Structure 1
Amino acid sequence: MLKSLARATLDLILPAQCLACTEPAGGAGQLCAECFADAAFLTPPLCSHCGLKLTEPAPLCTACDWDPPVFRAARAALRYGPAAKRLILPFKYADRPEAARGLARLLLQPGAELLARADLLVPVPLHKRRLAARGYNQAGELARALARLTGKPLLIDALIRTRATRPLAELDQHDRAIALHGAIAIRPGRAAALHGRTILLIDDVLTSGATASSCAGVLYQAGAAAVDVLALARVSDDADT
């Protein structure tokens, strides 16, 4: 209650700033007009499975047609590029967990269908060494904020990383699968809460889908009925990463 009161007082005293820059915005957790215009929001046509932006309407992208990911469906708010970086990188690396409140609002529209059918929100886990260095799990903060906005139940510690992995961005699809093999598991004592539930996995960036598929695999092994994925940004084949 005290935190909410202090936040409301600050909102009255200080003008709301854009999530991506220091310019004034229409309200807390919003983008200024310039950043909103620059943001590459993902709109149809999208791959119905992985959420990749398509150049023309089709049920699936080529990758999902040949080798679909383990999860049922994925959606993201933004194409990962310069505008998305200005939002995500400070949140992820510059000790700005409070940005999760505004960023989670960007997920409401693209994730509406997935949120409506979800029984439980679960964040992608961070290895304990990386968590200690960063101080928070950005996916966990997003999931907390989204749970507050939607009223959906949250199981913040359903998944754990059993070992650290190399940065996956530098690996191809095959090597990513090898790196992630056995690296994600269900936290002991959490399987019963997952059994028979439709899980919405929350992350900041969806790249190849390897991490999300690894998480989905262990959730299915624990008895989850279905696993969907919702992320702030989706990396496309030609993304400026």
Structure 2
Amino acid sequence: MLHAQIQTAVSLVYPPQCSSCDALVESDAGLCGACWKEMHFLSGTVCDSCGCALPGERDGFRLECDSCLGQTHPWSQGRAALEYKGKAKDLVMGLKYGDRTDTARMAAGWMLRASAPLLRDNPIVTPVPLHWTRTLRRKYNQSALLAEAFAEHGRLDYWPDLLKRTKITPSLDHKSKEQRFRTLNNAIAPHPRHKELMQGRVVLLIDDVMTSGATLSACADACLRAGAADVRVSVLARVTQE
């Protein structure tokens, strides 16, 4: 009762604002109507490997976009909640670089809904890791925040450090697909103290953005080397070709 009264008092002094703009909303970590309309949610018919939108209806067979048809992924299925543009891009950038950690739970809920086909067989949820030096600078791993909230929403097993970065890699921004894959070669490995947890299990990798898939491929390969039975991926946003 006292907690509720305190929350009410706080909301009167600091009314909740849209997570994407300054408009007032009904609850914390929510979106106003205008920003909601500008979020490009991925639903309906989507690629089974990366989650991007596809035209037409599902026909009972596996569907893949042109990009995934031309590239073999080490994971079996993938989903994304948003297309990486407009307000969705702003939200991702705020979470990643702007200390907007309050948006992680809301975003993880969207990811969970988009990832319903990936949740069979009781997967163990883990984030794409950051090198400890980058975590120190950024103060948090945004993928770990998403993964923890995703697992909590879905009541799934969560392990924050099944994987580790074995070397510092430069930023992948503005690099080609080939450069991204070369940069991440041997950069991610199973954590030596926890790799037995993956043996025979389905691993569900969580990341904020999928661009070329290089980072997720490196992570999935590491999980399979540790004995994972299958690897699936869920991301908050998918970069798609115009």
Conserved? CA contact 2:50–2:80, under 8 Å:
no
Work out which of the residue numbers 202, 205, 208 in structure 2 matches 1:201: 205
Q: Could you tell me which residue of structure 2 aligns to residue 24 of structure 1?
A: 24
The partner residue of 1:132 within 118, 133, 136 is 136
Shift of 1:56: 4.4
> CA 1:9–1:118 in structure 2 vs 1: closer, same or farther (change >3 Å)?
farther
CA distance in 2 between partners of 1:214 and 1:105 (Å): 25
Shift of 1:88: 1.2
How far, CA to CA, are the matches of 1:137 and 1:8 in structure 2? 33
Structure 2 unpaired stretches of 5+ = none
Q: Deviations over 1:61-86 (max 9, x none)?
A: 12222322111111111100021122
Tell me, yes or no, if structure 1 residue 99 matches structure 2 residue 100: no
205-214 or 59-68: bigger deviation: 59-68
Residue 226, structure 1, aligned to residue 230, structure 2: yes
Indicate whether 1:35 and 2:35 are aligned.
yes
How far apart are the structure 2 equivalents of 1:87 and 1:70? 28
Partner of 2:7: 10
Total equivalences in the alignment: 234
Q: Match for residue 69 of structure 1?
A: 73
Is the alpha carbon distance of 1:98 and 1:64 closer, same or farther for their aligned partners in structure 2, counting shifts above 3 Å?
Answer: same
1:20 is displaced (CA, Å) by 1.3
1:192 matched residue in structure 2? 196
Deviations 1:197-241 (A, max 9, x none): 111100111111111011000100101011111111000012xxx
> Which of 168, 172, 176 is the matching residue for 1:168?
172
Unaligned stretches of 5+ in structure 1?
none
1:156-213 CA-to-partner distances (Å, cap 9, x unmatched) read 0111111121222322222211111000011111111111111110011111111101
Q: Conserved in 1, the CA contact under 8 Å of 2:29 and 2:102? A: no
Give the structure-1-normalised TM-score: 0.89
State the Cα distance separating 1:113 from its structure 2 match: 1.9
Report if aligned partners of 1:50, 1:69 keep a CA contact under 8 Å in 2: no
Paired residues of 1:41 and 1:79 also in contact (CA < 8 A) = yes
1:26 to partner: Cα distance: 3.5
Looking at structure 2, the residues matched to 6 and 208 of structure 1 have their Cα atoms a distance apart, in angstroms, of: 46
Q: CA RMSD in A?
A: 2.0
Distance 2:8 2:67 in 1: 45
Match of 1:46 in 2: 46
How far residue 18 of structure 1 moved from its aligned partner, in angstroms, is: 1.9
Map of 1:153 onto structure 2 = 157
Find the aligned partners of 1:50 and 1:95 in 2 and give their Cα distance. Answer: 27
Are the aligned partners of 1:29 and 1:105 in contact in 2 as well (CA < 8 Å)?
Answer: no
- Which of 212, 223, 241 pairs up with 1:237? 241
Say whether the 8 Å CA contact 1:28–1:102 is kept in structure 2: no
2:96 and 2:43 map into 1 onto residues whose CA distance is: 25
* Contact 2:131 2:165 survives alignment (8 Å): yes
